[in-house]
Amino acid sequence: MRKGLAMFVAVVMSFMFLVSSVSSFAAGEIKVGIIDTYSGPPSSYALDVLDGFKLALNKINADGGVVGQKIVFVTRDDKFKVDLGLTAAKELIMRENVTILMGTINSAVSLAVSDLAKKEKIPFLVTYGKSSNITGAKGHKYVFSMNENTEMIGKAAAIGLSNRPFVNYWIAGDDYEYGHAIADAVWNHLKKIKPDVQLMGQSWWKVGEPDFTPYITSILSSKPDAVIVATGGAGCIPFLKAAKNTGFTSKVPIYMHTGTELSTLRPLGLDAPEGVIGTSNYYFYYPETPENRIFVEEFKKAYGRYPSFGSLIGLYTANFIAKAFEKAGKVDSEKFAEALSGLTIDSPVGKLTVREFDNQVMLPMFMGVTKKAPGFDFLIATDIVTIPADELMPSIENIKTIREK
């Protein structure tokens, strides 16, 4: 019995030693802590971000890193849950001694971690959370948005839709924060640009709704001119599939924010309907610049697939991090935050700037329409219109008034 106990203690001790030796990192490394959803459906987006990030990081480190140090990262799975994300963030700050945090596809997690980042004075780069509150009402010195947000989507969609002849709209979407935020943003901006638009009705379904056919048939019976579909990641794919089966898009045009994105269209293959109007910040085939071509080539070589918008976020986030440390001149969280605010870098979609006022990255948006194309076993976007970043950024005055409230 005593021998067994001694054995047990020995095992526990050696295990603890192992753990502690893993977490004590070599000097001369900049450590980035990544919290994201690596299990369940949202993980395909998170993994795209991670792969783009790794691609850029390998290059940076091969060139000797920044300020003489290599950039390394550790990942934590938040399972799309706020409490797990927050615990992981605390653990990364306390035990892993990370200099900066990044990640979180779930906006609720983004906002919770942002709060912690403010308290701990650790810069936090949100890669996929799309709530406009991140850099809007709840913005602060240490939080940065590397993604577009619902305000920007709404503005871009309104600009694009106002050029089309639709008057009577129907709104349908996922009954949660993101769905309503997108729908409200699109509708409010559209109403401002084109005051004669009418809202005929709305349908809201629960997140994870498996079958959209009954929703589509009920919308069709009201005969709107166009439908604004406000679904998040998981809802887009089954919605488009049901839209194809019912012939929805051939009768009523639909707008869906991520409807033309690779992450939505690739899994559907040729089951996606043609004629879906969608906005996206990135297509691997557009813009046709040498920088984009190189990125697509390198990404495809490394991972055997085309890069999505998530992969692009990963890429420029890594480059922003490297450039900010270079500008700061040393590994210091405070200096990093100051350096990143207002910084400009080159990217496959042109020059990108983190706006100094609210730390929101200024991304151009593209509006396109889905179509089958030779050479691809999935649909791509055509008739692409670019909406420049400065036209769709949330107004600084607005943010000032919200923050004062």
Decide if 144 contacts 361 (C-beta within 8 A). Answer: yes
Q: Of these, 8, 24, 41, 396, which contacts another protein (CB under 8 A)?
A: 41
Q: Does 203 bind another protein (CB under 8 A)?
A: yes
Is the Cβ of residue 12 or residue 270 nearer to another protein in the bound state? 270
The answer to whether the Cα torsion of 335, 83, 38, 244 is positive or negative is: negative
Q: Least distance in Å: CB of 97 to another protein? A: 30
- Structural element, H or E, at residue 6: helix 2-23
The answer to whether the Cα torsion of 385, 180, 150, 198 is positive or negative is: positive
Query: How much of the chain is helix, strand and coil, in % rounded to 5?
Result: 50, 20, 30
Measured between alpha carbons, how far is residue 247 from residues 164, 205, 266 in Å?
A: 21, 20, 20
Q: Does 205 bind another protein (CB under 8 A)?
A: yes
Q: Least distance in Å: CB of 355 to another protein? A: 33
Q: Does 201 bind another protein (CB under 8 A)?
A: yes
Q: Of these, 95, 206, 330, 351, which contacts another protein (CB under 8 A)?
A: 206
Total number of residues that touch another protein (CB under 8 A): 42
Backbone φ, ψ for residue 29 (5° rounding):
-130, 140
List the x/- string, 145-184, binding to another protein by CB under 8 A.
---------------------------x--x---------
> CA–CA separation, 206 vs 190, rounded Å?
25
Q: Least distance in Å: CB of 208 to another protein? A: 6
> CA–CA separation, 32 vs 72, rounded Å?
6
Backbone φ, ψ for residue 252 (5° rounding):
-130, 130
Q: Going by C-beta distance under 8 Å and a sequence separation of 6 or more, which residues neighbour residue 98?
A: 31, 32, 33, 74, 92, 122
Q: Does 208 bind another protein (CB under 8 A)?
A: yes
**Per CB under 8 A, which of residues 211..270 are in contact with another protein?**
211, 213-215, 217-223, 234, 237-238, 241-242, 245-248, 251, 267-270
Q: Does 271 bind another protein (CB under 8 A)?
A: yes
Q: Least distance in Å: CB of 180 to another protein? A: 11
Site residues (CB under 8 A) for another protein?
39-41, 43-44, 47, 172, 175, 201-206, 208, 210-211, 213-215, 217-223, 234, 237-238, 241-242, 245-248, 251, 267-271
